[in-house]
Amino acid sequence: MLFGVSKQAYYKHDEHAVLLKVAQEEFVLQYIYGIRKKDPGIGGMKLWYMYRKAFGSNSPVGRDRFEDIVDKYGLKVRTRVRKPRTTDSTHGLPVYPNLISDFIPDAPNRLWVSDITYITIWLNEYALANENGGYLVFGVRESSPHKICGSVAWEGLEGKLVQDIYRDLKIRVQTEVLFENGKRVLILKIPSRPIGKPLYFEDVALMRVGESLTRMSDEMYLSIIQGQEPDFSAKICEGLSLSDLNDTALAKMKRMYADRQSNEAFLQISDEQMISDLKLSINGKLTFAALILLGKAEKIDQYLPQSRIVWEFRNTETQIHYDRREVVEAPFLLGIDTAWELVDQPTLNLNHPLQLGPYIYNIYDFNESVVRGERYVIKEIEHLLKSLQGNAKKIGTLKNDTSHSLNLNQLKYLIDKLVEDKILKAEGINKGRTYSIEKEYEILRDDLLITTILNKLKEQYG
């Protein structure tokens, strides 16, 4: 015994401390790997600030320990060394004439000579690209009022400028030359950065604050790397007008919405108002969602020639050729009726009576409300329930389990709806939140679990 502690207890405590240290290191490593997967170029100190912001006072390691882990596992970002570039006169590009080749000065101050300092636009290009793109204009005074003064920058060399920028920055800019009263103005159009990826100059991500350049803030950096591709259906379908929509589909949508809201007054509003209320138009312009749901068949074929419902029937799961094939070319709100008629044939949509206690349920191979997609899609529910049966999982784990059928936004939407309908329950907050099946269903497994829940949803939403 030493200080009242046995030898066994001492070594057991020491072993626990070692295991705790290993676990903390592994936690930090997984966090770094997750961030570096999205952005391989982010440096150690920025990682530390992000880590501290994410976990706050609950952070298991301090700054120095964090840096030691980065160094220990070789996770420092290698600094790129840029080789100096000198003038290369061996080219076939236009060369400005030598204006003083025959001039001999005969007194002081008759001739001044200096090096040409090229304006470095690289930094501004990176900053503008990081902020969704913009324009660089040469030949207009920066101070107000912005008078046109003209510029000879890259005159006759606009193509080479585009090549040089792409070679160095991997940004493809567009150039435009305008003339105002004989004065030349050069405009560079800078595209936006790739979604979810900031651009770096010498390993530093830049942004503009007013008229100056500065290192990108943590808030802006996080908003960029968490960005996602915009929903295609929410984009404007240029050229599509209200007259290109199917009148029958419009009437059906109006009736469906009125029934769902239990409000007959909705039937009296104009088509324009309904489309605006349902977010199928943006500033008066129709979206691709409006085209897919309501568009006339010929307009769908014009703008989205591959947008159609294809129904194929095969007698066995293993055969490659189909026994019957139907192509439904119509707006989705009408085409889904035709698709259901094809599915719901007595010889195809078989009934399987299932007894649960004193009740017998008629379970068909295909459920109408699910096939129509009124609230849920059956396969996605099956994948999610199979992943959760007997388990409580975080959103990241569920994303991996269902990645073959759902993207992250679809998964979040489906989980929220199932929690709202008391099928799933959520416990914990923020990153510690887990999801599991409600107690009422947690003892069920496989087909019985899926069938029971689908029947409840059918009863609830008809």
Cβ–Cβ < 8 Å for 185, 150: yes
Which pLDDT score is estimated for 264? 85
Which pLDDT score is estimated for 3? 44
pLDDT in tens, 232-287: 888 899 999 999 999 999 999 988 888 877 788 888 889 999 998 888 998 889 99
Name the least confident of 34-48, 81-95, 131-145, 293-307.
81-95
Which pLDDT score is estimated for 10? 45
For the chain, percent of residues with pLDDT exceeding 90: 10
> Does 111 have pLDDT greater than 80?
no
Q: Which residue has the tokens 């096939």?
A: 371
Distance, in Å, from the CA atom of 408 to the CA atom of 395, rounded to the nearest integer, reads 9
Which pLDDT score is estimated for 375? 45
Highest mean pLDDT among 52-56, 233-237, 375-379: 233-237
> Is the N-terminal amide bond of 105 cis, ω within 30° of 0?
no
452: helix, strand or coil: helix
The structure's pTM equals 0.41
Structure tokens that stand for 203 in this block: 């390993």
How many Cα atoms within 13 Å fall on the side-chain side of residue 24? 17
For CA atoms 396, 398, 404, 408, give the dihedral sign. negative
Name the least confident of 133-137, 394-398, 403-407.
403-407
Distance, in Å, from the CA atom of 5 to the CA atom of 7, rounded to the nearest integer, reads 7
Q: Please indicate whether residue 411 or residue 461 has the higher confidence score (pLDDT).
A: 411
